[in-house]
Structure 1
Amino acid sequence: MHDRFLGWARARGGTMFHVNHEPGAEIHHTDPFAVPAGQRSPVRRLRGRLAAPVTLWTAPGPAGLTVSSTLVAEGEPDRLLGLIDAESDLWAAVEEAGRFAVCPLGPPHRQLADRFAGLFPSPGGLFATGSWTDTPYGPVPADGGGWAGCRLDSAREYGWGLLVEAVIEAVDLVEETAPLLHYRGRYRELTD
């Protein structure tokens, strides 16, 4: 069943709403909690139309969170910005350690992204499955294409999120990998 679900989810481009597609087990074909079309925020709809890279942020502890609002700014020093949940376990760990790792995720990491977003079960904890490489900034997926080690510079409330500003202290790029994107509430892949 699990492989069939993953095949179905990949064919749909991923989803933020998980249902059991076994014959007879499906109750809803769509998200029953979705806001009706006429009541949706135009700003949220605009944000949904901006394709965003899916990244995994981790910190010593360990703690982690899937983040799709990440921006890199070159300069001296190079910097990284992102919007995260101020009440997340990740933020508590980043605030305590003063550092964190950011790993861009690829198409094979859809389930990992869902797990760290709290959308997929994680028996034994978020880091219990998969292979991880320890770094001074936090664990990163061993099969990731690379990661950046960041030192926390500042953070402030920004909209409903927390704008985190950091200095990039280390970059380890292993290989060129295709990005996993978040677009209109689903995971997408680049196609030429």
Structure 2
Amino acid sequence: MTIHTEHPFDTPDEDRDPVRRLRGRIGGAVSLWTSGEGIERVGLTVSSYLVATGDPGRVVGLLHPDSDLLDALVETGTAVVTLLGARDERLADVFAGVMPAPGGAFRLVEWEQTEWGPRPSHATSWMGVRLDPGSRRDVGWSVLVEATIEHAEVGAEDAPLVHRRGRYQHPTA
């Protein structure tokens, strides 16, 4: 058995798309977008999003075009966007589809149903959003969506979970 310092099947940097490599160096705070209710709940880990202040505030996100979350967001018109902390790595991986979750992703933590969708009960910073009609459009390999922030809660600041260059990072400040 050989122990690799890198993933043995990763494409070498020089063969990767330079725009994706550049985007990976920007990094971003990891969020969990959830929508639906009961057995119809779905979620997706998202680190490509932007929050714009204003009255009302807005959020713009890049979502996977084949994700169940995108379908639910379009159907329900609402979602919860939760900022994830360092302790939420496994939760982020499961909702990103890179780690299995026997019994389903929604069994990992306790959930509270809000009028915008489910949110992890331990989450202290989150927002309830409503999809802007007609805002969905293809951008690169993603779908850009715009939503109005109808509710925002800012709790005690946890150490943020940041994704950069394909890995989670734990900033100290």
Same fold by TM-score greater than 0.5: yes
Q: How does 1:95-174 map to 2 (within 5 A)?
A: 95-153=74-132, 154-174=135-155
Aligned-residue offset at 1:137? 1.0
Q: Secondary structure at the match of 1:34?
A: coil
Q: How does 1:44-123 map to 2 (within 5 A)?
A: 44-60=20-36, 61-123=40-102
RMSD (Å) for aligned C-alpha atoms: 1.4
Q: Secondary structure at the match of 1:174?
A: coil
Deviations 1:79-131 (A, max 9, x none): 00000011101011111101101000000000000000011111111102211
Farther-moved stretch of structure 1 (139-148 vs 114-123) = 139-148
Unpaired stretches in structure 2, ≥5 consecutive residues: none
CA, structure 1 residues 32+178, in 2 after alignment: closer, same or farther (shift >3 Å)?
Answer: same
Matching residue's letter, 2:171? L
Aligned-residue offset at 1:76? 2.4
Matching residue's letter, 1:110? E
Matching residue's letter, 1:78? G
Q: Secondary structure at the match of 1:164?
A: strand
Q: Distance in 2 between matches of 1:188 and 1:39?
A: 24
Farther-moved stretch of structure 1 (175-184 vs 97-106) = 175-184
TM-score between both structures, scaled by the size of structure 2:
0.91
Q: Distance in 2 between matches of 1:77 and 1:143?
A: 26
Farther-moved stretch of structure 1 (28-37 vs 58-67) = 28-37
Q: How does 1:34-49 map to 2 (within 5 A)?
A: 34-49=10-25
Aligned to 1:13: none
Instruction: Report sequence identity in percent.
Output: 49
Aligned-residue offset at 1:32? 2.5
